[in-house]
Amino acid sequence: MSRIGKYPIAVPEGVQVNISDKNVVSIKGKQGELHQNIDPAIRVKLEDNQIVLERQSELKDHKAKHGLYRALLANMVKGVTEGYTIVQELVGVGYKVTVSGQLLEMALGFSHNIYFELPPEVKAEAKTERGKAPVLTLKSIDKQLLGQVAAKIRSLRKPEPYKGKGIKYQGEILRKKAGKAAAE
């Protein structure tokens, strides 16, 4: 039995779960609605306000998908009830970000500004305080999409190992390298 897949997912009050014949699970809550296609090898049932997943056989592929789909559905339930948030800091002199609708305008030390269009499911807000690094907050109900967008934004200017300049996640600990002077 899969260690993750065997656990049922509790469905909180106010969340509606719909399992279609074509193995599509729809979860609707106060934050929004999410859909997930499920592999036919995995059966999804709703029992006593809990989502239960069962697999057809003990094949390695079926075991892997059992845990995968359980985790995806659990993330969907949490997303439609609470939502997800990722906070990023822009560390560097002159680094800044402004949000206008679904468009981010970032000054990241290049000769030009970078424009990044967010998907409609992701909301962003930027905050700049004097003496602190600008902070970009991303919110969404879809954990997978939010992580992908955050990783794409971070890839525009990864933190470098000598001064730590770049886009980093809040709370991320960077390992800094010593410069040339430390070699002597």
| The model's pTM | 0.88
Residue 71 within a domain: yes
- Residue 68 and residue 91 in one domain: no
- Is residue 152 pLDDT above 70, yes or no? yes
Could you give the angle at the alpha carbon of 78 between the alpha carbons of 75 and 80, nearest 5°? 105
Report the pLDDT averaged over residues 85-103: 94
Examine residue 176 and state whether it is found in any structural domain, yes or no: no
Q: Tens digit of pLDDT for each residue in 9-63?
A: 999 999 999 998 888 999 999 999 999 999 999 999 999 999 999 988 888 899 8
Do 105 and 163 lie in one domain? The reply is yes
Instruction: Tell me if 149 is assigned to some domain.
Output: yes
In a domain, 64, yes or no: yes
Q: How many domains does the chain have?
A: 2
In this structure, of 4-8, 13-17, 103-107, 110-114, the range with the lowest mean pLDDT score is: 4-8
Q: Is the pLDDT of residue 181 over 80?
A: no
Average pLDDT of 149-172? 94
2 pLDDT above the threshold of 80? no
Mean pLDDT of 113-129: 95
What's 111's domain CATH number?
A: 3.90.930.12
**What pLDDT score does 1 carry?**
47
Instruction: Look at residue 3 in the predicted model and tell me its pLDDT.
Output: 81
